[in-house]
Amino acid sequence: MSEATIDRLVIDTPDDWHLHLRDGAALSAVLPASARQFARAIVMPNLRPPVTTTAQAMAYRERILAARAVTGPGSGFEPLMTLYLTDNTAPQEIVRARQAGVVALKLYPQGATTNSDAGVSDIRRTYRTLEAMQREGLLLLVHGEVTDPQVDLFDREAVFIERHLIALRREFPGLRVVFEHITTREGAQYVLQEDDQNLAATVTPQHLLFNRNAIFQGGLRPHYYCLPVLKGEEHRLALVAAATSGSTRFFLGTDSAPHAAVLKESSMGHAGCYTALTALELYAQVFDEAGALHHLEGFASHHGADFYRLPRNAGRVVLERRAQTVPAAVPFGDTELKPLCGGETLAWTFAGSL
């Protein structure tokens, strides 16, 4: 059967392996959308202040569960907690983290992105901690960009691989590493070529759907601005090929990163695309256009769980080929949030869980 004739997809319930849930009123505003589509999510620790200790992660988890209790549908949604790796994260903290159920640590090079000033100044300073993670079975989630001002913004991912990632993985071959939100052909090729069971990558919907022209089409469009920044078309095509190939090394991570619209539409616009509202529909569009709808379930629901060594979800969700218009704005605490593709029509619609 040609995939163009598929108008209903039933897949195992997916997970989001990279999500920013924020805190307080923002958390309450965005949690229901993710809980509706996903069973679990890897929750990013870049709050202000960042979640650097197990105690902070457990307290944050409680706040997420409290917000979840009032969302209604999706109340079984499970937040998977992470810690923010710093130069000073002690190896003993890793043991506490594992005992408490924390699954991963996030490496942000200092200054790379939103709320990353507490990030790592020199990766070698964290080596004793990485050794503990390798031993305890915690994953390392990498924001793979150098912050060297000499390096062009668009080259920062490729340079990170050369300068840091290769050496890090040679030093800790048993450490499971997720190269988060890859954006380049070099990133995709590195993951494919290594063909190592301890290396995988997440890919966002915006990096699969758009190239950097989107940021400048007819004027400056802040809602297409995220980090790592969108790249050229050759890179987008390489990401689509990798994500839709069926390779188990690639899986879904929205990097949905809500910022109040006023903060994005400013002279110093914040980085991040809000995609949680229609996450599965955006990915379905990519896989559909690539003629690879039969690989969507692996990417969205299996590869990530297998890599994290967690059970696959028991439930199923339904997607229908039915047009929907993405809301131009949604409430966000006492302000508003503009989703990616707001006001535009998507071909697929999430039709609930079975």
Half-sphere exposure of 179 (CA within 13 A, CB side): 30
Beta carbon of residue 138, minimum distance to ligand NCD (angstroms, whole number): 19
The answer to whether residue 27 forms part of the interface with ligand NCD (CB under 6 A) is: no
d(CA 257, CA 272) in angstroms, rounded, equals 5
What is the x/- site pattern for Zn ion, positions 255-274, by CB under 5 A? x-------------------
Helix ranges (DSSP H) in 247-301: 261-264, 279-289, 296-297
Give the one residue of 95, 260, 271, 318 binding ligand NCD; rule: CB under 6 A.
271
Q: Which is it for the CA torsion 123, 124, 126, 131, positive or negative? A: positive
Relative to beta strand 316-325, strand 8-12 is antiparallel
Of 145 and 320, which has the nearer Cβ to ligand NCD?
A: 145
The answer to whether residue 227 forms part of the interface with ligand NCD (CB under 6 A) is: yes
Q: Which does 114 bind (CB under 5 to 8 A by kind): ligand NCD, Zn ion, none?
A: ligand NCD
Let me know how long the chain is. 354
The answer to whether residue 93 forms part of the interface with ligand NCD (CB under 6 A) is: no
Active-site residue identified among 255, 288, 306, 334:
255
Q: What is the DSSP string of 184-222?
A: SHHHHHHHHHH--TTEEEEE-HHHHH--THHHHTTS--G
Q: Is 15 marked active-site?
A: no
337 contacts 329 by C-beta, under 8 angstroms: yes
Within 8 A by CB and 6+ apart from 7, the residues are: 320, 321, 322
d(CA 120, CA 84) in angstroms, rounded, equals 9
The answer to whether residue 272 forms part of the interface with ligand NCD (CB under 6 A) is: yes
Q: How many residues bind ligand NCD (CB under 6 A)?
A: 11
Q: Which does 113 bind (CB under 5 to 8 A by kind): ligand NCD, Zn ion, none?
A: ligand NCD
Beta carbon of residue 206, minimum distance to Zn ion (angstroms, whole number): 11
327 contacts 288 by C-beta, under 8 angstroms: no
The answer to whether residue 145 forms part of the interface with Zn ion (CB under 5 A) is: no
What is the x/- site pattern for ligand NCD, positions 35-74, by CB under 6 A? -----------x----------------------------
The answer to whether residue 78 forms part of the interface with Zn ion (CB under 5 A) is: no
Beta carbon of residue 333, minimum distance to Zn ion (angstroms, whole number): 20
End-to-end CA distance of the chain: 24
Which residues contribute to the site for ligand NCD (CB under 6 A)?
A: 20, 46, 113-114, 143, 226-227, 255, 257, 271-272
Active-site residue numbers?
Answer: 255
Which residues contribute to the site for Zn ion (CB under 5 A)?
A: 255
